[in-house]
Structures are given as structure tokens and as C-alpha cells.
């Protein structure tokens, strides 16, 4: 079986500068996805034109729209770039320019030209789950996202907050704290499983 060798990380996008090249429907999709997960993201869109939905969405966030053809100079100061134009040659040029500048780049719907993928994400308060199909099936990632959104309880963030408060009260060294937290959370999972088996709410 093929192994997914991607290493998942959670980026503080608000502390980075993101460039999206393209202002059409694919650019809208990527911008929507990014802002849904990270509303404080700093994003610049460069495109010869923008569909109305992009203009409308950008107005409510920290998003700059630059009406222009792509130029390598737009990579200055950027850490993440997403190419979404309908011109493959432009997208590939963006890729090669990013590689020369050591900038992480994603070409929409073109896994061979991606340093990273934008997978499915489930967010409930402080809890975030990222889902990847290794670029094979965005639709499967979407369905898995919907599945986890359905089964994760709405109060899971309250649970995490309570665990965080309890963790701060634990005495002892690092190993003692890890051991106590592991024991506590193991029992919570066991109780939840027992409730499901018995049919208790």
C-alpha cells in the first residue's frame, strides 16, 4: 500500500504573508478555505481581474487585491504562495520562481507542483483536525471532514479548556504531569466508549 509521507504542521498564518495568484473561482475557493480556518491570515491576491465574490470576501478580512499580471517581484516578503490561474504556463512560472526563492508553493489541482496540500480541516474551538488524502482525492477529504464535524461533540472545546486548567494544577516533573494527563484522558475515552455501548447519552 502506498504510504502518505506528508508531515502535518499547523501554521500561524496570521504571522506569515500569503500570496494567491489568480482571482477567479479557484482563487476564491482557496481564499475561502484559508480564511475559514485562519480568519486573521494576511493575504495578497494578484490577478488581471477578480470575480465579484472575491472582491466581496476580501472586504471583510486582511486581504489586499492587486489588479495586475503576475510578476516575480510579487513574491517579495511572501512565505506561502498559491497559484490558481487558468493559465498553466503562468502557474508553472510561479512554481519555478518560488523554488528559486525558497518559498512554499501550491499549484491548485496539480500535485506534482505542490510543496503542500490544502486538505480538509475540522475546527471546533481550540480543536482542529487536518485531513489529507495525499492529493489523491479532495472529495474524500471533504467527506471525511463532514464525518468528523458530525461525530465530534459540540462541547469538545469545553473539555479541552477544562483539561488545560487541570494540567496547570498538577504538581511534579514533566513525566509526572504527562502520566497523570494520560491516565485521566484514557479514562474519559473509556467512559465515552462504555456510554456508546450501553446506549447512554
3-state SS assignment for residue 94: helix
CA distances from 37 to 19, 41, 47, 129, 131 (A): 16, 9, 23, 11, 13
Residue ranges per domain, the chain? 13-118, 156-198
- Specify the pLDDT at position 78: 98
Closest listed residue to residue 116, CA positions, set 40, 18, 44: 18
3-state SS assignment for residue 145: helix
Instruction: List pLDDT tens digits, range 84-104.
Output: 999 999 999 999 999 999 999
Closest listed residue to residue 106, CA positions, set 38, 37, 22: 22
Other Cβ atoms less than 10 A from the Cβ of 185: the count is: 12
Residue with cell 450501553: 198
Cα atoms in the 13 Å half-sphere on the side-chain side of 10: 11
Helix (H) or strand (E) holding 182: helix 174-198
Question: pTM, whole model, 2 decimals?
Answer: 0.79
Q: Is the pLDDT of residue 50 over 70?
A: yes
Least confident of 75-79, 110-114, 147-151, 181-185: 181-185
- The domain covering 13-118 belongs, at the CATH homologous superfamily level, to NAD(P)-binding Rossmann-like Domain (3.40.50.720)
Q: Is the pLDDT of residue 57 over 50?
A: yes
Strand order in the sheet with 17-21: 63-67, 42-47, 17-21, 80-83, 104-107
What CA–CA distance (Å, rounded) separates 153 from 37? 19
Instruction: List pLDDT tens digits, range 130-171.
Output: 898 887 887 888 899 899 888 888 888 888 888 888 788 888
- Specify the pLDDT at position 187: 65
Amino acid at each position: 500500500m502506498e504510504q502518505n509521507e506528508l508531515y502535518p504542521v499547523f501554521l500561524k498564518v496570521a504571522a506569515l504573508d500569503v500570496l494567491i495568484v489568480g482571482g477567479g473561482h479557484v482563487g476564491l475557493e482557496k481564499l475561502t478555505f484559508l480564511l475559514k480556518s485562519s480568519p486573521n491570515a494576511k493575504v495578497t491576491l494578484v490577478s488581471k481581474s477578480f470575480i465579484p465574490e472575491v472582491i466581496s470576501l476580501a472586504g471583510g478580512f486582511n486581504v489586499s487585491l492587486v489588479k495586475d499580471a503576475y510578476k516575480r517581484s510579487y513574491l517579495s516578503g511572501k512565505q506561502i504562495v498559491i497559484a490558481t490561474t487558468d493559465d498553466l504556463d503562468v502557474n508553472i512560472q510561479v512554481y519555478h520562481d518560488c523554488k528559486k526563492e525558497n518559498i512554499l508553493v501550491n499549484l491548485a489541482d496539480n500535485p506534482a507542483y505542490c510543496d503542500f496540500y490544502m486538505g480538509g480541516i475540522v475546527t471546533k474551538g481550540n480543536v482542529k483536525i487536518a485531513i489529507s488524502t495525499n492529493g489523491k482525492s479532495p472529495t474524500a477529504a471533504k467527506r471525511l471532514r463532514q464525518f468528523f464535524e458530525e461525530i465530534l461533540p459540540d462541547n469538545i472545546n469545553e473539555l479541552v479548556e477544562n483539561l488545560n486548567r487541570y494540567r496547570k494544577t498538577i504538581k511534579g516533573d514533566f513525566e509526572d504531569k504527562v502520566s497523570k494527563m494520560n491516565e485521566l484522558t484514557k479514562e474519559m475515552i473509556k467512559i465515552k466508549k462504555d456510554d456508546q455501548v450501553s446506549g447512554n447519552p
